[in-house]
Structure 1
Amino acid sequence: MLNFSNILVAYDGSTSSMKAVKMGIEMKKQSNAALTILHVLEETTGYIPVQSTRPDTVPTGGMGSVDGLNIYTHNARDDAYREQKVAVQNATTEESINEVHSLLAQERVNAAVEVLHGDPAKTICNFAEEQATDLVIIGSRGLGGLKKLILGSVSDKVTNTANCPVLVAK
């Protein structure tokens, strides 16, 4: 078996990412590597896209178009939406991180747990490089059909971009 000294697990609260956490814990136990669990929160813009039906009008919030130019505006409703979305995201993150801490305590494993903001794939790869990670473990959420074709999955992007081996947990 390969010996890794610095393992990074990308965790987003999904079932497959919890499998990645469990794999990271087992690998740490076998090799005594440093283990970091990273949760990345996507940035929230809070702007609700609204298409104008007339080219000479600009909506009160969201995105509109005038003479082919995209115009972004926002109002108090957008700010309230953003605040609500951030509150839900924070509560979900706290619950997910508590789940990880409980598992680490149950398994009696020491690990760093980090929460960062940004594009998940880019943030994971940048963090892995900054921390001299020699293995990234990530879950495969299994985006289906058109969404995966258009957006790609975070695990695909990390696998293709990271400067170290990537293990995808299914």
Structure 2
Amino acid sequence: MAFQYIVVPYDGSLHAERALEHAVRLAEGLHATLDIVYVDPTQSELLEQPLAIPTHELNAYFAEEEEDVRERLTALTQSAHPSRVTVLQGHAGKEIVRYAAHVNADLIIIGSRGLGTIQEWMLGSISHYVAQHAQCAVTIVK
């Protein structure tokens, strides 16, 4: 199977950096489209709480944060063409799976935090969730 559309979630962690490096190399070698996905849970978490912050201030904050993320990730993936950065809001695992299905991704390359079995069971794992629920192939990079 030739992978033509690769999605790589990125959260700034060392594991995500490794996954992104792997995805960039693979996308370059296959001449595949690379889509870097950053899922920001902040907005959905904040909006569930009663706040005394005006909505326009929150929107400005989220817009600025999204632009910062886009600039940082675009700089990291300059050598991978074509590539794009997508910023989503919500639960990371669910949003990654939903997005990959929406764009008909062939492969998701995701970093593993390296949690042990008990830690993963207690805390949950985004990479585990993605591997269990994605409709495409998933590579977990340690």
Distance 2:25 2:9 in 1: 15
Report 1:113-128 matches (<5 A): 113-128=85-100
State the Cα distance separating 1:91 from its structure 2 match: 6.5
Distance 1:113 1:34 in 2: 11
State the TM-score, normalized to the length of structure 1: 0.67
Higher helix share: 2
The question of 1:104 aligning with 2:51 is answered no
C-alpha distance 36-123 of structure 1, shift in aligned 2 (>3 A): same
RMSD over equivalenced CA pairs, Å: 2.8
Paired residue for 2:110?
138
State the Cα distance separating 1:30 from its structure 2 match: 1.1
Gaps of 5+ in 1: 49-73
Gaps of 5+ in 2: none
8 Å contact 2:4–2:30 — kept in the other structure? Answer: yes
Write out per-residue CA displacement over residues 124-164 of structure 1, whole angstroms, 9 at most, x where no aligned residue.
11111111111001111234686532231100000011011
Distance 1:23 1:7 in 2: 11
Distance 1:108 1:32 in 2: 9
What is the aligned residue count? 137
Give percent identity, aligned residues only: 30
Distance 1:160 1:79 in 2: 39
Paired residue for 2:18?
19
State the TM-score, normalized to the length of structure 2: 0.79
